[in-house]
Amino acid sequence: MNVIFDNIDTFLRGFGGTLTLLGLTTLFALPFGLLLAAMRVSPVASLRATSTVYVEVLRNTPLLLVFTFFSVIITYISGALPFQVAAVLALTIYTAPFFAEAIRSGINGVPVGQAEAARSIGMTFGQTLGLVILPQAVRSVVPPLINVIIALTKNTSVAGAFFIFELFNVGREVANANGNAVVAVFLGVAFFYLIITVPLGQLADHIERRVAVRR
């Protein structure tokens, strides 16, 4: 275990790197996901189709492939995309569809009569969604959104393979330098991930139970 305490600064910086990726990606992917979900339920067929295709393609593509695309190909083409930016971009583009699906299932959970009542008093699509549907969907949407963030936390580790300073990469480096303590190092890495994901999971369960009670 000493190997962790000896390298605690490195671990903490890696942890910071992971949190940064997580925070930035959530910041961008959540609004993007909301936009995709809104397009998916909009009255405009071409927007619906665009969103559907995008969501289905990305949800069914391995993250590593998306990363490779952004980190390698785009960097190769433009030559100037920093790895950090590429990583956040790739994670955002990959995660937004999952947010979108969580939001869409929440939207679909609101009785259709609510939207009809809103439209029948002359609300636009945006007003109907923003003033009537989403406020009612939000409680049931939060737990699945948290689950997407948990998956995203784990997915940030893929960025380590692309020279980004985050937990998983830190683990590899420290393990390489301490060949006799590989197991301890990766247990330490796991611990830091769990610090993020376990409380999130608890929170999701808690909210889910409260929503279930109020139904």
Partner 1 sequence: MEPSHTAHPAPGTAAAGREPLVVVKNVNKHYGDLHVLKNISTTINRGEVVVVIGPSGSGKSTFCRALNRLETIDDGTILIDGKELPKEGRGLAKLRADVGMVFQSFNLFAHKTILENVTLGPIKVRKQSPADAKKRAMDLLQRVGVANQANKSPAQLSGGQQQRVAIARALAMDPKVILLDEPTSALDPEMINEVLDVMVQLAHDGMTMVVVTHEMGFARKAADRVLFMADGEILEDSTPAEFFDNPKSERAKDFLSKILTH
Nearer to partner 1 by Cβ, of 79 and 113: the residue is 113
Could you say which residues in the range 161-190 bind partner 1, by CB under 8 A? Answer: none
Could you say which residues in the range 18-47 bind partner 1, by CB under 8 A? Answer: 43-44
81: helix, strand or coil: coil
- Residue 116 contacts partner 1 per CB under 8 A: yes
C-alpha span between 157 and 96 (Å, rounded): 17
C-alpha span between 182 and 47 (Å, rounded): 50
Token pair in block for residue 135: 């406020």
Q: Which stretch binds partner 1 (CB under 8 A): 96-104, 131-139, 151-159, 185-193?
A: 131-139
- 125-151 in b/e form (b: 16+ CB < 10 A) is eeebbeebbbeebebbbbbbbbbbbbe
Instruction: Rule CB under 8 A: choose which of 36, 129, 132, 159 binds partner 1.
Output: 132
- Residue 127 contacts partner 1 per CB under 8 A: yes
Nearer to partner 1 by Cβ, of 39 and 93: the residue is 39
- Residue 135 contacts partner 1 per CB under 8 A: yes
22: helix, strand or coil: helix
Nearer to partner 1 by Cβ, of 50 and 127: the residue is 127
Question: Which residues are CB-neighbours of 201 under 8 A, at least 6 positions away?
Answer: 146, 147, 150
Residues at the interface with partner 1 (CB under 8 A): 43-44, 111, 113-114, 116-125, 127, 131-132, 135-136
